[in-house]
A = this chain, B = another copy of it.
Amino acid sequence: MVGIDEVARLAGVSTATVSRALSGNGHVSPTTRVKVEAAAGELGYVVSSSASSLASGRMKNVGVVVPFLGRWYFSSVVEGAQQSLLRQGYDLTLYNLTGGGEERRSVFEHFLLRQRVDAVIAISLELTESEVARLHALGKPLVGVGGPIEGVRTLTIDDVAVARLATEHLLALGHSRIAHIGGNNAFDVDFHLPTNRRVGYEAALEAAGITVSPENFQPADFTIRGGYQAAKQLLGRPHDRPTAIFAASDEMAIGSILAARDLGLSVPRDVSVIGIDDHDLADFFGLSTVAQFPRGLGEKAVEILMDQLHPGKRDQEGLNTPMPFELIVRSSTARPPE
């Protein structure tokens, strides 16, 4: 391993100058900067991150905590964050909590505390007070993606508004028997996302003067299979079959489309379907949906952290930054049958 002193010797300057030239901290004349860079390149020098971190207190690394990795939404947020971080020279240390409770504890009580990360991004996790307190005590910037957390900088989508937008699209097409496939309680722990979406759905119906009927609601687990089963219930009714389904995720919406087909119903002629996400598969299934841009969430989260880590730029858009969403109409929604 070639060290900083060898570079200094080759360039004919002190190690301090090499450090300044390569890190960009402190002033170095253009001439020496070039000399140093040449020397470093020639020797294939790369700073030792541990030495650099120990001396400076900066890790050039951010921790990203996710509840799952296999789901499209999460991997997209991570991809977005990763790409932004790489460009800034930062590493991304991943903590996937799929395993369960014990894992979560060890991540928060041990891994995140050993001064390995400069900041952390928590995706769709409702952090406990003590988890937040630990991180704050270390002075580590923290941004939450996916829901408001007490006293934490967050990026959120207005789930109520998203659900209302989707429902209003159906309403505008002339539907009135609109069913909703929402999340079951297991998914309500973090940020009550299913609840919020249901609230938006109901608000839209009420604003249109339509009575919300409990039999037009089915809970599911956010998967294609779950959506399929829920839709079978909804569409299998002998009378008053809904003419439209609003599913709280694209995967459940796709399940609904498949269920409709299996019941001999045509989408969108007999039944319209709309989801939320703009999942990879949405386009293939011609699914109308409300897009939320997860890669953008990851990128924005990094941007906020960088502002906090290197202050001096503009800043503070308030504690909570609302993120954009957008109705995308494809071929799964149309006017209801006569």
Contact = CB atoms under 8 A, between A and B. Distances in A.
B46 A54 contact: no
A289 interface: no
Interface in A37-60: 46-51, 53-54, 59
A103 interface: yes
Interface of A is mostly: mixed
A54 B48 contact: yes
B49 A114 contact: yes
Interface in A19-72: 46-51, 53-54, 59, 61, 69-70, 72
Give the number of times this chain occurs in the complex, counting copies.
2
Nearest to A99: B83
Given A91-B116, A94-B94, A51 B54 contact: yes
A320 interface: no
Contact of A98 (B59, B83, B107): B83
Interface string A69-100: 11010011011001100100101111110110
Given A50-B59, A111-B91, A138 B1 contact: yes
Interface in A268-302: 280-281, 283-284
Contact of A86 (B53, B89, B107): B107
18 contacts: A1-B115, A46-B113, A49-B50, A49-B114, A50-B50, A50-B53, A50-B116, A61-B93, A70-B72, A70-B76, A78-B94, A78-B96, A79-B98, A89-B110, A224-B284, A225-B284, A228-B284, A261-B261
